[in-house]
Structure 1
Amino acid sequence: MIAPWTPAGGTDTPLGGVRIPFPTVDEVSRHCLSDDEPESVHIEVHLPGRLDPARLRAAFRRALLTHSRVLVREVPGRRHRRSFAWELTGEPDTDPVGLAGRGPDALAAARARALSACPPLTLSPPLRLEVVETGGGTGAPEPSAAGEASRPGTVLLLTMHHTALDAPSGLRLLATTAEQYGGVDPAPVTGRVRPGRPAPAPSGTGRAVRTRPVRVAPDSRPEPVRARAVGNGMLQTDLPVPRRVPRDGGHSPWTVNDQLLVATSLMVTRWNASRGRQAGSVRLTMPVDDRPRGTEMPMGNGTRLVEVAMTPEDPHDADLLLGERPDPAAVVRLLRTTARRTHALKSAQGAPLGAGAGLLTAPLLPVGIRGVLTRGARRVAAPWMSTALVTNIGRVPYALDFGDAGRATAVWFSAPARMPRGLSVAAASTSGRLHVTLRWSRALLDDAAGADLMGLFAASLSTTSLTSAGANAPGTGTGPGAATGEMDATAADAEATPARDHASPGPGGPYHRATRHPDPTPGGARSAQDHHKRSS
């Protein structure tokens, strides 16, 4: 993996005028930008109190100077130049902090801007931070934020251009802002600890047979209408963290990240079946992040993307997973298979986007020609692109304590959902709750279809939780692949949890460690709005 650039010594220092060639991930993103589907990442931090605007501006500025790799802009140039480059500015070109007003209408407008208006790459930093005061508006709260918008508080909404920064970088920046605002020293953040285990056989990754993955079936709008739709839609919900079955040593044979992958696979399969689509191979893209999460964290796009095949090892399980109530033993077998595959993929080393992307971005040809080749390769590879993107930060590892404004009560974020995938699922956990964002391309789904899909996801995640709860119960099947309490040597990794009083349990995943979680409330198939109202 090619790590983002950092100055010598591994920490960011205020530098100006230094130029950094675009890493592979940044260049591929830059070549494929589209006005119809902005390449934005958004993070929401919900606080119970009010913030002082001047004090927040000063704290955010100090955070930017601490992580000076964020203070970049694209160096202008002609199409015949050999590479794109970032220029470190040392100081912000503009004030990135803005006051977005008060109430649910202001929050809805800020979210809409996050999905439609990327910060420009020509100004440093390529991000903006909007401050929304909740609980003061006259309009009815949004269904996706019913509990948050009705109470007095503040939402910090950070929007970043994904060509320059990813969600973990943005979260680290907000954590440093909280430390500066609250006047507290940075708390140590335990790094990922991955137990050394023998790597599974190559077939354990599910990559032995390359099949064309299924696409998410579009909604019922006529195809010409869908083709003219632009932008992304988004829906957020608050769910219980799913239960996992413990094994010897107190760890689970699968992580919550594995449950999120299985739930997304079940959601897509059931959605497509309800629309008359044939079942097929679901493949999900999963980011893997091995960076440290302390103040020395390299900023930029520091994850590598891997694809997880969600095909059951036993072909007969495909039919058992299609029903409204998937067979529990089949779900357990898929969880175990997924855990083996994700462990193998996280343990392996590789380029962020694979060897092909590295070849396309090699500075052998001018950037204009490389851009044409990259976009052409993307169109050719579109039928083999994965079904959806599943991004799991896990339990938020930072206190996000803003002093008299309080600690974060919820953290939501979203990743781009460009076609041909057209769908991304993002999850983070605070205070023992799972904050899930579903984001979709409007060329694929409308808002009503997005809400139905979120309801299916909630029901599917509940299925993996109920399966885990009963996996060790008497009477559980004992055939091949049936759930037991035995230690699985090829199970997903469990990482150490730091003993910090602010740290709430949350999901383990490629961004996070595995921990023990509270019991979820069993949920059936219902709309995301109803689910949120009940869980609030």
Structure 2
Amino acid sequence: MTTPLPKRFPLNLYDELLLHLDQPASPLGLQMEIRVSGHLDEERLIQAIRSAARKHPMSRVSLVPHAAGDTGYFWQLHDALEQVPLRIIQCCDEESLHEARSALHSLPIPLAEAPPFRCALAHCGERGDFFMINMNSTVSDHIGLYRFMLSVLRAYANISDPVSGQDFLTARRIGQEPDQNLLNDGISRLTRVMEMLGSTLNPPARIAGDGDEADQAGLGFMPVRFSAAQTRRLQTLRHGGATINDLLVTTLHTAIDRWNTDHGQSTGRISMVMPMNTRGDDWRDEIASNLCMWVNVVSRASEREDFDSLLAAITRQTSNLKESVTMAVLVDLMRELRALPAWIRQAVPALLPLTGNRIGSTTVLGNLGAIHSPLPADSELALSELWFSPPCRMPMGLSLGALTLDDHLHLSFRYHRQQFRRESAWAFAEVFLDILNQHQSP
């Protein structure tokens, strides 16, 4: 028998980190969308979303208001969704689909009321319908969002959707216990925080841009789907233990270097944020929640002179990260901050620009890995496309989401319009794709 969850439970370490970084002008929302072969019925989809929310608690939480002296933040769990925020788009073409996607994901998702996500359904006729979700990343990582999407699809198709037996609240605490050696004195903690914020780390490289400073909240997306043959050819680049993810990381670092050189901007240390799954092996794809650590994958100019050498360096680095499960500096910072009053913790995003965002990064890459269609062969629907991209906060003006669905690599480039105009964003994506093509075997 499943133990009922409490009506209130605390934010975990990753929830709180993202809560403080999420800002209306640069919202940290997760993009996920599917294209199916046929028509999605609106009312049936709404019921499927409600069904999925009943299975996944984080999809029906709101943030409890906090007082200045509070030392913790809490989620309020609601029994069910009072409303499903689903926008309907009729008769879409590629341009209207692009605008709908940008509009959905440029919206900040408030946490004062449930649910912490917004949806859109685009009816696209014979080309198949699109279903899109923008979920506030404070409540879930990309793996959790895909698990929620999976429940929506299964409920819509009326097929079984068993969930993990792993205890939900226990899972949210795994790997996040505070360091017992932290200083006990509050003033000493604050001193250490300020030392971290004012550290003399070299600021990371920025991507040269030509965005519209007046449109700080706008986001754009560029989906790129590889053919099965193109996806297979990527395997020819794998050597020395490199994964497809290592290839994408190496290509993104190389593309940033080349792009900046072409635009007259020097590129020193590139620091790329990459979420790393902390779930247990037997429930690796379960639990819709924030259970990913942030790690940084770094390259220096001397390592980027040759693609193969950089790939080897990146592969060694990611292998070491997997073995040691290294925390990013912001996670260590949040461990320090959790013993301070909430009003002090809220000040972190405002302090970061004063240090030149030195503890920030250049870009973000997330990878869902290889996925097979969750729908059975005899289903009335077929899943033809699946897209996701991780959030990025300016001055990180670009992120990349990757996954392979049924032997087709899907890449979703997300960019701030403050970083790129649409034409320039496509030009950057072409640099990325050219580098991949140049290094594939014929």
TM > 0.5 fold call = yes
State whether structure 2 residue 86 is matched by structure 1 residue 110.
Answer: no
Cα displacement (A) at 1:122: 1.8
Q: Secondary structure at the match of 1:383?
A: coil
Q: Secondary structure at the match of 2:121?
A: strand
Map 1:320-339 onto structure 2 (within 5 A).
321=305, 330-339=306-315
Distance 1:351 1:20, change over 3 A: farther
Q: Secondary structure at the match of 1:298?
A: coil
> Pick from 72, 86, 105: which aligns with 2:61?
72
Does the 8 Å CA contact 1:174/1:400 hold for their aligned counterparts? no
State whether structure 2 residue 271 is matched by structure 1 residue 283.
Answer: yes
Does the 8 Å CA contact 1:289/1:302 hold for their aligned counterparts? yes
Rounded to whole Å, the distance in 1 between the matches of 2:22 and 2:401 is 21
Per-residue displacement from partner, 1:282-319 (whole Å, max 9, x unpaired)?
A: 2211111132586982222211111111237xx4x64x
Rounded to whole Å, the distance in 2 between the matches of 1:80 and 1:448 is 48
Counterpart of 1:178, as a letter, is L
State whether structure 2 residue 317 is matched by structure 1 residue 341.
Answer: yes
Per-residue displacement from partner, 1:341-381 (whole Å, max 9, x unpaired)?
A: 10111221345743122112x1332x122212453146426
User: Paired residue for 1:160?
Assistant: 135
Rounded to whole Å, the distance in 2 between the matches of 1:168 and 1:233 is 22
Counterpart of 1:359, as a letter, is E
> Pick from 5, 17, 28: which aligns with 1:28?
17
User: Paired residue for 2:386?
Assistant: 411
Map 1:444-455 onto structure 2 (within 5 A).
444-455=419-430
Counterpart of 2:263, as a letter, is R
State whether structure 2 residue 412 is matched by structure 1 residue 425.
Answer: no
Distance 1:271 1:45, change over 3 A: same
State whether structure 2 residue 260 is matched by structure 1 residue 272.
Answer: yes
> Pick from 263, 267, 272: which aligns with 2:251?
263
Rounded to whole Å, the distance in 2 between the matches of 1:246 and 1:273 is 25
Map 1:173-252 onto structure 2 (within 5 A).
173-186=148-161, 211-219=202-210, 226=213, 229-239=216-226, 240-241=230-231, 242-245=233-236
- 5+ residue gaps in structure 1? 1-8, 136-150, 190-208, 322-329, 470-521, 523-536
Counterpart of 2:260, as a letter, is N
Counterpart of 2:7, as a letter, is V
Q: Secondary structure at the match of 2:316?
A: helix
Rounded to whole Å, the distance in 2 between the matches of 1:423 and 1:71 is 29
Length-normalised TM-score, structure 1? 0.68
Counterpart of 1:212, as a letter, is P
Cα displacement (A) at 1:389: 0.6
> Pick from 323, 340, 361: which aligns with 1:364?
340
Cα displacement (A) at 1:188: 9.9
Q: Secondary structure at the match of 2:130?
A: strand
Q: Secondary structure at the match of 1:177?
A: helix
Q: Secondary structure at the match of 1:55?
A: helix
Rounded to whole Å, the distance in 1 between the matches of 2:108 and 2:295 is 26
Counterpart of 2:80, as a letter, is E
Cα displacement (A) at 1:430: 1.0
Does the 8 Å CA contact 1:130/1:156 hold for their aligned counterparts? yes
Rounded to whole Å, the distance in 2 between the matches of 1:157 and 1:24 is 27
Per-residue displacement from partner, 1:425-467 (whole Å, max 9, x unpaired)?
A: 1111113211111112222221111010011111122234x1x
Cα displacement (A) at 1:396: 2.2
State whether structure 2 residue 8 is matched by structure 1 residue 19.
Answer: yes
User: Paired residue for 2:190?
Assistant: none
Rounded to whole Å, the distance in 2 between the matches of 1:125 and 1:403 is 32
Length-normalised TM-score, structure 2? 0.82
Q: Secondary structure at the match of 1:354?
A: helix
Distance 1:269 1:29, change over 3 A: same
Does the 8 Å CA contact 2:64/2:74 hold for their aligned counterparts? yes
User: Paired residue for 1:308?
Assistant: 297
Does the 8 Å CA contact 1:14/1:90 hold for their aligned counterparts? no
Aligned length: 400
Rounded to whole Å, the distance in 1 between the matches of 2:355 and 2:30 is 26
Rounded to whole Å, the distance in 1 between the matches of 2:356 and 2:375 is 40
Counterpart of 1:357, as a letter, is M
Cα displacement (A) at 1:211: 4.3
Rounded to whole Å, the distance in 2 between the matches of 1:116 and 1:452 is 22
> Pick from 27, 48, 57: which aligns with 1:59?
48
User: Paired residue for 2:89?
Assistant: 100
Distance 1:425 1:379, change over 3 A: farther
State whether structure 2 residue 35 is matched by structure 1 residue 46.
Answer: yes
Rounded to whole Å, the distance in 1 between the matches of 2:81 and 2:163 is 28
Cα displacement (A) at 1:43: 0.6
Counterpart of 1:427, as a letter, is A
Does the 8 Å CA contact 2:371/2:406 hold for their aligned counterparts? no
Rounded to whole Å, the distance in 1 between the matches of 2:425 and 2:99 is 19
Counterpart of 2:116, as a letter, is P
Cα displacement (A) at 1:177: 1.9
Counterpart of 2:70, as a letter, is R
Task: State which drifts further: 111-120 or 171-180.
Answer: 111-120
Counterpart of 2:249, as a letter, is L
Counterpart of 1:424, as a letter, is S
Per-residue displacement from partner, 1:232-255 (whole Å, max 9, x unpaired)?
A: 2221111232523499xxx86200
Q: Secondary structure at the match of 2:129?
A: strand
Does the 8 Å CA contact 2:13/2:331 hold for their aligned counterparts? no
Cα displacement (A) at 1:119: 3.0
Rounded to whole Å, the distance in 1 between the matches of 2:275 and 2:14 is 12
Does the 8 Å CA contact 1:106/1:132 hold for their aligned counterparts? no
Counterpart of 2:101, as a letter, is R
Rounded to whole Å, the distance in 2 between the matches of 1:356 and 1:410 is 38
Cα displacement (A) at 1:14: 6.2
Cα displacement (A) at 1:67: 1.5
Distance 1:394 1:463, change over 3 A: farther
Structure number with the higher helix fraction is 2
Rounded to whole Å, the distance in 2 between the matches of 1:246 and 1:214 is 26
Counterpart of 1:358, as a letter, is R
Rounded to whole Å, the distance in 2 between the matches of 1:296 and 1:44 is 18
Counterpart of 1:394, as a letter, is G
